[in-house]
Structure formats: structure tokens, C-alpha cells
Amino acid sequence: MSLISLQFFLFFILVCLIYFLLPAKAQWVWLLIASAVFYYSHSYYSPHVYLWFLAIVLINWAGALFMGEDCSKSKLVYRLVLLFDVASLCIFKYSQFFYDILLAIGRLFGRDFSNAVCNIITFYTREHCPERISYFALILIAYITDVYWGKSKALKNPGKALLFTSYFPLMTSGPIVTLDEMEGQLFGGKHRFSYDRFVRGMERVLWGMFKKMVLSERLAVIVSRIYDYYEAYDGLYIFAAAAMFALQLYCDFSGLMDIVLGCSEVLGIKLPENFDNPFVSVSLSEFWRRWHITLGGFLRDYVLYPLERSSLLKKMRRFCKNHLGKGYEKKYNLPLYFSLLISWFLIGLWHGGGWNYIFGVGLYMWAVIVLGELLSPVFAWLVKVLKINTACLSYRIFLRLRTFVLFSFGLSFFRAKTLKDGFLMWKGAFTKFNPWIFFDESFFNMGLDRREWGILIFGLLLLFVVSFISGKRDVRDYLKEQNFAARLLIFAALFVMIVVFGYYGSAFSAADFIYGRF
């Protein structure tokens, strides 16, 4: 059941109609039933997928409940449940990746480590992987950790634990939430229908559909053509494809988040934002604070900070202090760089079991951020020597373009089939300088004609305008100040553009959100 299918909107209307008629104590039960139906509609491999999901959630529920009752054994229980969660994610999501590494090590030493047992395990876990495990596993890890730390109380009702984990808007591509953010909203009282909230939610849903169906799908035509047949393209084709993929991924993922957050807002449940105008960032570290915000927040709170407090990092700090001096943090903050290395490796691994993910959105991003920190005195010296005005608009534009280029380069490996393909693609990018491709008919022979390009360019300009306004205030607040006729005209036009220019039909896979694959 795709979020942009007629089936989903009929489902959502039915959920809303019954939800607002029910008393407070029954509303969360109805959401649980709706979430079970929604999740089961995604579990298309076999019923085993659903059973595995139930088992993982219930083990976390029981572990958290036991920790709350028996403090003396809470540390052991926490470690066992945490190990179970991490193992479940690794086995179901990355078994093929680890198996390939095992085979590569065997080939390196002239041994064959392949056997029937490994093949059966890899096949079973791939075919029976619980849908969206990359998201709900992190939600459960945060939950069991918060209970262990005493930040949250364990949920006594297993049904509430199931709803917290499987609330159906979350079972698409996040956002990644904590119990503190959701408990009061899911179980705190009755949600009544609000016309204003309904309008605001539907406005956001429409905007998300526009970004996905009108912009992302058109960008995907050119991106797929160049990436899938990169041997036939060289020079500036590769640079153009990398930039367009960055825009495609943003329109796809942020569009999905707009639909998710908009639907949840109609129900009176506010989910955390996942994007905050990332393309206005002046550095790569700022970019990632604005991109996939809840994933970054999870890794900061549950990986980076605990790692910073670990005995290993404490020993490393003492070593640095003894050998580099008390002010080592200003020059070579090795403990911080090491903890960031672990965090960025995990970001890359989370995105997929492949070295192209680990490098492109993991190790490469870490290297650029750390080098930026180490070379900051050099950059400051250059600014001073060249007498560059850092307060002017042109300098800020330069920083934003630089950040976009650095991000797009790393993201290109995310899109490449393998790490090797990514490097071969960029090797071809520097073999030819062909700026004429932007002025002749080259880009009109890749699946989009002049009319389609006109629609895409107009849509991207509209996206830029909306992003510019949203950087100062919520666009929906701005629209609310306009006359009713003007608001109606604007969203009628947006709806017509989605219907007339959107990509859908028998040949269109509406379920194919990029981040929905994780």
C-alpha cells in the first residue's frame, strides 16, 4: 500500500472517520489495528515477516518491563536485549553483505568458505526480513536504552508498545522517534477533529506529492539513464547526473516526509521534522544537521555521546594529553575524530549493506568534515591574505555551492551500483570537457522532451521559492493569512499539476520511494 496510491487515501479516510468518533481510550486501539493492517499490506514476502516483527517488539517490551521491576538485573537484561536488537538488524539486513565479506576473505587466503548453511541463512533472512527494520530497530534501541537510563518508564501494555513501534505513518521511512516524543500524543487523551489541522495537514500532503510525482520522478529519468549506462557518458554528464540525483533524493525523501507528517498532523499527532532546508548549508557538517535529522539525532544521542563517555575514549584522551599537551583538542582532537569515524561508518552501513554506501555517505563525509576542521586555520589564513569579504552574499553563495558539490559527489556512490562503478564513473567524468551538452539537444534524448524539461524547471523554481519562504517562516502560516479564494486557487493549481503532470499509471511504481527500501 503506497502512500501515493488511491488505496492508501481510501484507507486513511476510513481511519480518520472512525478515529475521531471513538472515545479517548479506544483511539489508540484503533490506531494499532490500522497500523497492523498497513504493516501487513507491506509484508508481501510471507506471514513470517509479520511474526518476526511481533517477536522483536515483544522481546523489547518484556525486557524493558523486567528492567523496571528488577534493578539488580537491569544491566544484564539491557545488554541482552540490545544485543538481540543489533543482531536482528545485522542478520536480517546485512547477512548478504557479511557473507560476501567472508567469501572475499576466503578467496584472499585461497579458501572456500561458502557452504549450504550460509546460503540457506542468507536466503531466508533476505526473503523474511521484517519490513522497515532499519527504522523500527533504531526506535526500539532508543526505547530500551531510555528505559535503562531512566529517561522513560517501560510501557506495561504490550499493545501500546506495538503501536509506539508500528504507528503506520512511521512504517514508511521514519522519522525515528523516541517514547518521550510519542507517548503523550498516542496515549495521552482524546484527539478531536480540527478543520484547521486538517487543512494544514492536507496542504503538506499535496506539497509532498508534488515533490515526489512531478519533480523526483522526472529527475529520476535522467539520473537512471546516466548512472545505469555511465560507460556511454563522460565529462560533464557525470557532474550533471550527480547534481540531479542530489535533487531527486531530496524531492523523493522530503516529499515522503511531507506526506507522512501531514497525515499524522490530521490525526493530531505531531512527528519530528526530518529536513530543515539543507541546501542553504555553508558546510557539510551543517548540511547533515539539516538532512535526515532524526537519524543524526539518534546516532548523536545513542552512539556518539555514549562512545565519548566510554573507557576507551577516556584512555585515548589521557594518551593524547600526555603526548600532545593539554591543548591537543584545538589541533588534533583524535578522540572526537575517532568517535565521529565510528558514527559515520554506522551511517553508511545503515543506508545499505554495500561498500558504496559505507564510503559515499559514511567514510567520505567523515573525511571531508574532519579535514575541514584540521585545515580551518589554512582557510582562515587564505581569507585574510586574499582579503575576502566573508560577510557578503556572494561568499555565502560560494559556500553553499561548495557544500552542494561535496555532498553530491559522496551521494553519487550511494546511487552507483557498486563502489567500483562509482569510481569508474568519476574517472570518466575527468576525461572530457564537454560544456556544449548543456546547449545542444543532448539532454532531450534521454527520456524527457522540451515540454517535460519545462515542467521540471518550473517545478524546481517553485521548490526554490517555497524553500526560501520556509527558511523564514512556515509557508502554511503565510498562506493562512491570504484570502480564502487565493488559498483555494493556489492548492487547486497544485492539485491540477499533480493530476496532469504527475507520474503514475500502470508503468509507474508508486511504492518505490528511495528511502522506503531500507
Give the tens place of pLDDT for each residue, 52-77.
888 999 999 999 998 866 566 788 89
* % of the chain with per-residue pLDDT over 70: 91
Closest CA to 517 of 364, 363, 414, 423: 414
- 354 and 255, same structural domain? no
Assigned C-alpha cell, 385 = 591574505
Would residue 235 be called left, alpha or beta, if left means φ above 0 and alpha means ψ between -120 and 50 degrees?
A: left
Cell triple for residue 502?
A: 504527475
The tens digit of pLDDT for each residue in 394-434 reads 999 999 999 999 999 999 999 999 999 999 999 999 988 88
Q: Which residues have a Cβ under 8 Å from the Cβ of 454 and sit 6 or more positions away?
A: none
pLDDT attached to residue 511: 42
pLDDT one-digit tens code per residue, 18-59: 999 999 899 999 999 999 888 877 655 567 778 888 899 999
pLDDT band at 353 (very low <50, low <70, confident <90, very high): confident
Residue with cell 543524526: 296
pLDDT category at 121 given cuts 50, 70, 90 is low
Residue 275 backbone dihedrals phi, psi, to 5 degrees: -140, 145
Neighbours of 416 (CB within 10 A): 24
Decide: helix, strand or coil at residue 167: coil
Residues 505 and 392 in one domain: no
In a domain, 170, yes or no: yes
Q: Name the average pLDDT for the chain.
A: 86
Residue 1 lies in a domain: no
Closest CA relative to residue 219, chosen from 256, 239, 245: 245
> What span, in angstroms and rounded, lies between the C-alpha atoms of 144 and 148?
6
**Res 349 pLDDT > 60:** yes
Question: By mean pLDDT, which of 109-123, 163-177, 239-253 is the weakest?
Answer: 109-123
Q: Is the pLDDT of residue 509 over 60?
A: no
Distance between CA atoms of residues 22 and 26, nearest Å:
6
Task: Read off the pLDDT of residues 436-462 as tens digits, 9 standing for 90 and up.
Answer: 888 888 888 888 888 999 999 999 999
Give CB contacts under 8 A, 24+ apart, made by 420-423.
Answer: 421/230, 421/356, 422/356, 422/359, 422/360
State mean pLDDT over 242-269.
94
Task: Return the residue matching grid coordinates 581569507.
Answer: 383
Question: Contact at 8 Å (CB) between 344 and 362?
Answer: yes
Q: Last residue of some domain: 384, 416, 448?
A: 416
Task: Name the range with the highest mean pLDDT among 124-128, 290-294, 310-314.
Answer: 290-294
Grid coordinates belonging to 30:
484503533
Q: Is 202 within the bounds of a domain?
A: yes
Is the pLDDT at 195 greater than 50, yes or no? yes
Is there a domain that residue 276 lies in?
no
Cα-only R_g, the chain: 25
Pair 172, 41: CB distance under 8 Å: no
In a domain, 293, yes or no: yes
| Average pLDDT of span 291-306 | 92
**307 and 455 inside one domain:** no
Residue identified by cell 557532474 is 239
Amino acid, res. 154 = A
Domain count, the chain: 3
Q: Which of 88-92, 234-238, 331-335, 473-477 has the lowest mean pLDDT?
A: 331-335
Q: Which residues contact 62 (CB under 8 A, 6 or more apart)?
A: none
142 and 265, same domain (yes or no): no
Question: The C-alpha cell of 307 is what?
Answer: 562512545
Q: Tell me: pLDDT of 368 over 80.
A: yes
Residue 252 lies in a domain: yes
Contact in structure between 366 and 244 (CB atoms under 8 Å): no
Same domain, 459 and 326: no
Residue 394 lies in a domain: yes
Task: Give the pLDDT confidence score for residue 207 in this predicted structure.
Answer: 93
Assess whether 167 and 295 both reside in one domain: no
Neighbour-count burial of 441, counting CB atoms closer than 10 A to its CB (0-12 exposed, 13-18 middle, 19+ buried): exposed
Confidence of residue 91 (pLDDT cuts 50, 70, 90): confident
Q: How high is the pLDDT of residue 137?
A: 92
Question: Taken in order 518, 214, 250, 140, is the CA torsion positive or negative?
Answer: negative
Give residue 346's pLDDT: 92
Same domain, residue pair 90 and 127: yes
Evaluate whether residue 248 is within a structural domain. Answer: yes
Least confident of 77-86, 261-270, 504-513: 504-513
Q: Does the model's pTM come out above 0.85?
A: yes
What is the percent of the chain where pLDDT is above 90? 49
Residue 4 and residue 508: Cα distance in Å, rounded?
Answer: 11
Which residue has better confidence, 427 or 116? 427
Question: Could you tell me the end-to-end alpha-carbon distance of the chain, in angstroms, rounded to an integer?
Answer: 16
Query: At which of 373, 400, 416 does a domain end?
Result: 416
Q: List the one residue out of 73, 84, 270, 236 whose CA is nearest residue 167.
A: 270
Residues 186 and 204 reside in one and the same domain: no
Taking residue 177's Cβ as centre, other Cβ atoms within 10 Å add up to 23
Q: Strands, E, within 251-402: which ranges?
A: none
> Apex CA 377: angle with CA 374 and CA 382, to 5°?
125
Find the mean pLDDT for residues 360-375.
Answer: 92
Q: Are residues 303 and 199 in the same domain?
A: no
Give the structural domain span for 129: 6-193
Q: List, in order, residues 6 or more apart from 379 with CB less than 8 Å away.
A: none
Question: Cα 1 to the chain's mean position, in Å?
Answer: 20
Check residue 117 and give its pLDDT: 55
Instruction: Grade residue 476 by pLDDT with cuts at 50, 70 and 90.
Output: confident
Is 15's pLDDT higher than 90? yes
Mean pLDDT of 358-362: 92
Same domain? For 38 and 114 the reply is yes
- Name the domain boundary from 163, 193, 223: 193
246 and 257 both lie in a single domain: yes
Same-domain check for residues 201 and 187 = no
* For range 181-201, the mean pLDDT: 90
